Each structure stands twice: as C-alpha cells, then as structure tokens.
Amino acid sequence: MNKMVEYGFLCGSKDEKVLMSALYSFLEPLNRTFSKTRNKSLLDSRLPYVYKYYYWNLNKEKQVYIEVYPNKDLEGKYKFSNEDVGWILFANIIDQTPPYHVTIEEQERYLHDILASSNFEYLKLYEYKNGEERL
C-alpha cells in the first residue's frame, strides 16, 4: 500500500528560498539533500501544470518520496484553489516488505518533522485514495 498526500505551505510564491533553506537544513544532518529537476520529460509528466523546475527527495531509509513545487504554475494556473498556498509538498509513503519495511507511523512522523521544519504553517490539501491517479 502506498499513501500519497499533498500539503500546502501558507506562504507566498516568493518564499521559495526561505522554505527550501529550512527543508535543506532539516535534511542536512541526515546526509540527504533535495535534487532540483529541470528534466523536460519529468516536467512534462506534470502537465497540465507547467513548471520551470521542482525539488524532490527519496529517503530510502524511511521509504518516503517527496516533491516540492509551486501551487501557481508558469501559466498562472493554480493546482489547488487556495491562493494562500504558495508551495506544495507531495509525499508518497511506501509500505515495503522486509527488509525495507518502515512502519507507517515512523514514516508519518518523519513527514510531520519535515513539514514542521519549514517554519511555515501548512495544511493537508488532498489525500489520494489507494490506487487513485495523482492530480
């Protein structure tokens, strides 16, 4: 079972540097970082939303995949109608079998910790049903 959730940071689109600096700082002691992708095929997979880039991280130890991208795309379209949300964090929690198994509770704690490290208020925007396609 995978659990996919999107959270919104209550900040402006121009708060990218502050937000990402806080998230990078959270990952640093874990010897992890974000990758910033500008790969055309990966960006095209986000259509109809058009992004210049987005950030991602896969923490294999915790079995959590994260993406961070703006709520408003380059064409002015909002993914979520809440205009107080400047940036979105998408998380995919993966329930693996041993030896890679990490409890859902531990994964959710890790996710909560990274969200809280942003120093911005956040809210859950959408939780996907099992097997549902990503928006």
Instruction: Place 39 in a pLDDT band, splitting at 50, 70 and 90.
Output: very high
Residue at token pair 């987005």:
54
| Inter-residue long-range contacts of 67-74, CB under 8 Å, 24+ positions, other chains counted | 68/19, 68/20, 68/23, 68/34, 70/13, 70/16, 71/8, 71/13, 72/13, 73/49, 74/50
Does 112 map to a domain? yes
- What would the pLDDT profile of 99-128 be if each residue is shown by its tens digit? 778 888 999 999 999 999 999 999 999 999
Question: Helix H segments across 1-135?
Answer: 16-27, 40-44, 104-116
Does 135 map to a domain? no
Structural domain of residue 86, as residue ranges? 2-127
- What would the pLDDT profile of 61-81 be if each residue is shown by its tens digit? 999 999 999 999 999 999 999
Q: What is the CATH number of the domain that holds 28?
A: 3.30.160.110
Measure the CA angle with vertex 80, ends 75 and 48; round to 5°. 40
